[in-house]
Structure 1
Amino acid sequence: MSDPNRLVSQVVDDLDAEGDALESLVASLPPEQWSKATPAEGWTIAHQIGHLAWTDAASIKAATDPEAFQQLVTEAWSNPTGFVDEAAEEWARIPPAELLETWRAGRSKLSDALRAVEPGTKLPWFGPPMSPVSMASARIMETWAHGLDIADTIGAAPEPTARIKHVAHIGVRARDFAYAVNQIAPPAEPFRIELAAPDGTTWTWGPEDAAQRVTGPALDFCYLVTRRRNLADLGLSAEGEDARQWLGIAQAFAGPPGKGRPPANG
């Protein structure tokens, strides 16, 4: 039987490493670089880090003070389409050095909070409640995705690591959500997903004999489900009409799908 505390610790270790990797990209940037526009419309590098810092702060409240977190939920429901952008705008006004330190301290506090949650506890969130492992995985996904926006902005090309398995897993688990947010009834049958991991191994989900299949590089799948690259630019293959449809709408994050990225060649 797996040890839930050990599993939480392992995933939080990955969250720490993902945050450290992104910090290494931004820590040495001069202050004026933080105002550079990223591929996310209306968001600068400061907005990206501000959003991550704000979401970490919300996650800390969810893990340590559910009543205070519920107040955040109430505020969010009063402005469901704008509260994320407004929070990013507010935090982006913090001077870069102060924002960097705030984000760094929040990451450390969140890691401690998640490690301290009693096994079996479900943490409140803006959507369904989550386990500490699920919350840490979601924070990895967001850190990685927003880190891609920053990397694209400054011309960096981070090497993919085994940590992207968390991103891929969320993308697979969110299949039916992607259909729902696009107001399409999800297929009844499970899909088979086979992805080539960065180390050359294969990550799999779903029954081996499934008729609907998706294959390709794990990195490309993670690009797709975070909507950081266009499907036309990725080496993913689908067998079956339902699988092909899913690749057109797949997403790993909550909320509306957004515009996504245009093809690299227009």
Structure 2
Amino acid sequence: MTLHEITYTIKDIQGKGKGLFAARDIKRGECILSEAPLVYVTSNLQEALKSIFVLSKKNAKYFYALCNVHHDISFEFGIMKTNSFPLGQGSTDAAIFRVSSRINHSCDPNVHQSWNPKTKKGHVHASKNIKKGDEILKNYIPILQIQEDRKRLLQENFKFDCRCSACTKPSSERDLIITKVNICTGLVKESAESDPATAIQYVREVLGLLDKIGGICKTSYYYDGYQISAMCSDYSLAQEWANLLLESYQIDE
């Protein structure tokens, strides 16, 4: 039995199609899934379409079984638009995966999906401890946004209203924290060169705020702390940030 077979199962979910569930307790940082793309989606959509038509019978079955919420375009393009995962931050290239495309969305996710350009594989790591039987959930959109903006983006791009734990609870407190995070993020960038010590204080403030909403999205702030500390030659502090960054990369990247 492989690692992948013992970490998750795929089940039908009423009103949500299919989803992944933990087959056993999974620890934070553990790799749940590693897989090569079923289809690459580049800016040349006609080439992507051709790659679908030459899939093996087995892989074509996997592709056409995926969800399509975009019924105003061709079925193949609809599946691509619904399930494409960007291959790196800011990349225009994307891919569709046989298994990880089945992972449903949450604004309070318990896994992080990433792309490794060296191995040409997508990886899913647990960002929290996951209990046996719990659904495995990732975020389809950037989640450091207020609830109203998240709901709008999800409806526009994926045609559903999110009912996750972060969206069913009163939004005011979480929205306030996210607003403070975004303000402090701007202040980190503004003060990084002129006042590094203050910038580090803002980084620490952001990390404290993120802890209040589940400790999400910390990696980029560890990197900010590392860069700012190294820039002002505080190598001891830079090492501390580097250690946090390395631990986080093992999960988030």
TM-score bracket, normalised by the shorter chain, equals: under 0.3
Larger proportion of strand:
2
TM-score by length of 1: 0.23
Larger proportion of helix:
1
TM-score by length of 2: 0.24
Q: Which protein is bigger by CA-based radius of gyration?
A: 2
